[in-house]
Amino acid sequence: MLKLAVLISGRGSNLKAIIDSIENGTLNAEIKIVISNKTDARGLEHAIEAGIKTAVIEHKKFPTRESFEMEMDKLIAAKDVDLICLAGFMRIISPWFIGKWRGRIINIHPSLLPAFKGVNAQKQALEAGVKEAGCTVHFVTEEMDSGEIILQAKVPVLEGDTEETLSARILEQEHKIYPAAIARLSDYLIIR
Ligand code: GRF
């Protein structure tokens, strides 16, 4: 069974979708640890409710990005994790950490990559006037939002959409494709 670490910074609705898919048997995986870099991340509650081990590692308390990541790495490695899932984790990850976990670290982004990388992807889509938006699960590489694509879902952009309405429509799809992408990877990742 695939052993996961999920990294969050906030709401944690994608984490919750992964937890639900495991609980309802559509995803054969186990979340070994949820790590947040913020003490007040609401997503931590989802993990606690599901009886999953949580850790808060506040990046502010570390002198460098790498020392913060070394702390995360220690916890993740101790749990024999196969795959790290970034789910609204709002830190840039260093080449050191990415190199260490290459091919085993994935992210979800609220756009049809390669369009609209970076922050406020839904707003970027609205401003560009596209007729279709969506979300992407992809491998994490040194270049932001640019790694190999695992799965995407499209949604229409409707007349009168605001950032909120479009984001909600995309989020609904995120909750479907994140667990599905993990399930797909579990077919060929070598389990530790
Ligand atoms: C999602 O829109 C995700 O695509 C982006 O950050 C948001 C996280 O939401 N990377 P949540 O914390 O999973 O609810």
- Half-sphere exposure (CA, 13 Å, Cβ side) for 98? 17
What is the whole-number distance in angstroms between the Cα of residue 134 and the centre of ligand 1? 13
Q: Which atom of ligand 1 is nearest to the CA of 10?
A: 12
Instruction: Give the Cα separation of 106 and 23 in Å (integer).
Output: 21
* Å from CA of 107 to ligand 1 middle: 9
| pLDDT for residue 191 | 77
Contact 93, 140 (CB under 8 A): yes
Give the H or E element holding residue 106. strand 105-109
Q: pTM above the 0.95 mark?
A: yes
State residue 175's pLDDT score: 98
Angle (CA) 67-69-70 rounded to 5° is 65
Residues 160 and 178 sit within 8 Å (Cβ to Cβ): no
Q: What is the per-residue pLDDT for 188?
A: 82
The pLDDT assigned to 192 comes to 74
Distance CA 176, CA 116 (A): 21
Residue 190: predicted pLDDT: 80
CA distance 96 to 126: 35
Ramachandran quadrant class, 117 (left: phi over 0; alpha: psi -120 to 50; beta: rest): beta
Distance 187 CA to ligand 1 centre (A): 25
pLDDT attached to residue 45: 98
pLDDT of residue 100: 96
In angstroms, the CA 117 to CA 43 distance is 24
> Whose Cα sits closest to atom 1 in ligand 1?
88
What pLDDT does 189 receive? 87
Q: Identify the bridge partners of residue 55 per DSSP, sorted by sequence position.
A: 35
By C-alpha distance, which of 105, 119, 117 is closest to 181?
105
Which two three-digit tokens encode residue 107?
């992210």
- In DSSP terms, which residues pair with 132 in a beta bridge? 156
Cα(21)–Cα(25) distance, integer angstroms: 6
Q: What is the pLDDT of residue 187?
A: 83
Query: Is 46 a catalytic site residue?
Result: no
pLDDT at 144 (0 to 100): 95
Contacts of 85 (CB under 8 A, 6+ apart): 4, 5, 6, 7, 18, 106, 107, 178, 182
pLDDT per 10-residue tile (average), the chain, 192 residues? 97 98 97 98 98 97 97 97 98 96 97 98 98 98 97 98 98 98 90 76
> In Å, how far are 12, 126, 149 from 123, measured between CA atoms?
20, 5, 22
